[in-house]
Amino acid sequence: MAGLRLGPLLRYTDGSCATVWVESDGPCTAEVRCADGASGSTRTFGIAGHHYALVAVSGLTPGTATEYEVLLDGARVWPPPESPFPPSVIATSPADGERRIAFGSCRWAAPPAGGHDPVGPDALDTLSARIAADPEAARPDVLLLLGDQVYADEISDATRRWISGRRDLADPPGEQVADYEEYTRLYYESWLDPEVRWLLSTVPSCMIFDDHDVIDDWNTSEAWLADMRATDWWNERLLSGLMSYWVYQQLGNLSPRELDADPLYAAVRESPDGTDALRAFAARADADPASVRWSYRRDFGRVRLLMVDSRAARVLTEDRRAMLDPGEAAWLREQVMEDRDAYDHLLIGTSLPWLLPHLVHDVEAWNAAMCAGERGERWARYGERIRRGADLEHWSAFPSSFDALADLIAEAGTGPGAPATVSVLSGDVHHAYVAEPSWPGRTPEARIAQLTCSPVHNSVPLSIRLGFRFGWSAVARALGRRIARHGHCAAPAVGWRKTGGPWFGNQIMTLTLRGRSARLRLEQARAEKDGTTVLRTITDRELA
């Protein structure tokens, strides 16, 4: 009899249907039964010896919350016997009404229960405990995980011991994951955490990758990619990373209608073993990134979410560098401008912040100019070393893409049909802040903000704290201007100022959207004297 290896994860939900993701330890029929009679079932599909199912549940009633259970070949496997948590539920929102959008990024796997946590309380664990303690209280309608859901290059001691049992760590890539099986271990370790497992079973989630889901500084530059491709381990590492991302994260981002139209999903489900089909897809995504779209759109009533791939969609050729390839940029514009009067709030999820501290922005723009040869070949070589060493690869390191996004956001927020708010949601930089842009000679009607929140569970070294505090200062801004002048950098298309933060700690942000009003809350996980952890509100403010 098949058992439940991982999950369930509640992924897509709307007013009448939902999807629930599971991994079993053998082939079987996975079924979800709801207390109100709604249900769904499907056969598992196989990838590299693992077995998965994404169960589509139909017949749900809008505006309700119904308990559900998971069965494998007719035997109940969720909730587990004597579970300390309340029943998992599928909550469906009405077409209109309040929406609570929680988001964050950068979650390093928690240590085993009872073990010492070197990076402090986990914000997701703490959120889970709060919801479990009062299931009837307000909870997020969706959880946005904005990158670095797993760390393929910063593994735990337990995973290191496990990997050393299957290969020699002296061989490249050493103490990093090497293949699909090792990626599955990362998800198993991270999502088997009891609190996070229950949280993901009862709060819908949307996800997008960032670099650590594959490797630190993934797709930093054309030269970086050439160096990686010259190794004998990179191809397997990348293909396995994309394959595992598709299985564990991307599938659940899609609606049942999108899944029905997906030829890869059909091929994998119809094959006794979908490994070859998925591997071929990953190889195509590597060889021709523009042929694959990882970005996606979700609408929550009158809230539109656009999750943007700012890693795999890059154009790295030095004289054409862009954060988004032309097809991806056109898709983003189309999704922003389509039926603007159909949404009151526009959320653009991109793992990397659009607006950074001014000094960081100017250094990244200067570096891009140096690497492009603005000051000659010697400076270009020097710039490439700096780019890799200092992780200079955010939106500001792609100046034309930065300006294009600024223009698109201003256009979206201006004129008849403009939404009440446009929010760029990001993580990556291991602190939180709010920045608000302004355009010379242009005043959008929408309230526009960069909302950055990370980490959910990771370290925040003193160097990061000091560097980002200084980066927002007037002295740093003046220094940045001098550096930008050396690179002959054009002024950015938009100005901005920090209006909140920086805040440091394991934390999560929540947007509460009702009609055309918006409220932002930032909470940090704090350890209490009695050993418990709580989420402490750091800021709570109106955006619109």
Report pLDDT for 116: 62
Predicted structure pTM score: 0.96
Question: What is the rounded CA–CA span in Å between residue 210 and residue 276?
Answer: 25
Q: Where in the chain is the domain with CATH 2.60.40.380?
A: 1-95
Q: Where in the chain is the domain with CATH 3.60.21.70?
A: 96-542
| Chain segment 32-46, per-residue pLDDT in tens | 999 999 999 999 999
Report pLDDT for 113: 54
Q: Quick one: fold of 1-95? A: Immunoglobulin-like (2.60.40)
Cis peptide before 121 (omega within 30 of 0): no
Report pLDDT for 159: 94
477: three-class secondary structure by DSSP:
helix
285: three-class secondary structure by DSSP:
helix
- Report residues of the chain scoring pLDDT below 50: none
Report pLDDT for 94: 75
Q: If DSSP states are collapsed to H, E and C, what string results for 257-276?
A: HHHHCCHHHHHHHHCCCCHH
254-283 in b/e burial notation, b at 16+ Cβ within 10 A? bbbeebeeeebbebbbeeeebbebbbebbe
452: three-class secondary structure by DSSP:
strand
For the chain, how are helix, strand and coil distributed in percent, rounded to 5? 35, 25, 40
Report pLDDT for 544: 86
Report pLDDT for 277: 98
Report pLDDT for 463: 82
Q: Quick one: fold of 96-542? A: Purple Acid Phosphatase; chain A, domain 2 (3.60.21)
Q: In sequence order, which ranges of 59-203 are alpha helices (DSSP H)?
A: 123-133, 157-164, 180-191, 194-202
Secondary structure (DSSP) of 200-238:
HHHS-EEE---GGGT-TTTT--HHHHHHHHTSSSHHHHH
Report pLDDT for 481: 95
Instruction: Let me know: does 351 contact 147? Beta carbons within 8 Å.
Output: yes
Instruction: Let me know: does 92 contact 64? Beta carbons within 8 Å.
Output: yes
Cα dist. 217→293, 313, 394, 473, 488 in Å? 20, 14, 10, 27, 26
Beta carbons within 10 angstroms of residue 231's beta carbon: 11
Instruction: Let me know: does 146 contact 210? Beta carbons within 8 Å.
Output: yes
